Amino acid sequence: MVRTLRVLAWTMGVACVAIGFVHILLGNAAMPGTADAGPTVGSFGRFMGAVFAGYGAAWIQAARRTPVPARTVRWLAAVLLLGGLARVLSIAVDGWPHGFQVVLMAIELGLAPVYLLLADADERAQARA
């Protein structure tokens, strides 16, 4: 479980940093269905790309620590879960988005509980050793 936590945290971090920089570099073109959304959405998307890259950096920092800090993992997983729930709210208010966004929502809602279950695996293993 410790290795799984560390690999998932590291993978999440690298993926989020990469996705964040793609959004910074490509703007609206980075998101399916928003290529013609205009400069306001482009500005917001690039800003959120920077925030997402920072979120990924926090995952990388957590994955590099020994033990992987459970409190940090729980907070980061809670942010991921909140993002997935925000997408659910968006569906309820605005309707269904592009299918790719639905896939992302499923990943967010499915992966957050996994992180919450694994959050203290490394700390528990260190305590036993």
Distance CA 57, CA 16 (A): 8
Contact by Cβ (8 Å): 15, 128: no
2: which residues sit within 8 A by CB, 6+ positions away? 67, 68, 121, 122, 125
For the entire predicted model, the pTM comes to 0.93
Distance CA 44, CA 47 (A): 5
| pLDDT tens track for 37-69 | 889 999 999 999 999 999 999 999 999 999 999
| pLDDT tens track for 75-125 | 999 999 999 999 999 999 999 999 999 999 999 999 999 999 999 999 999
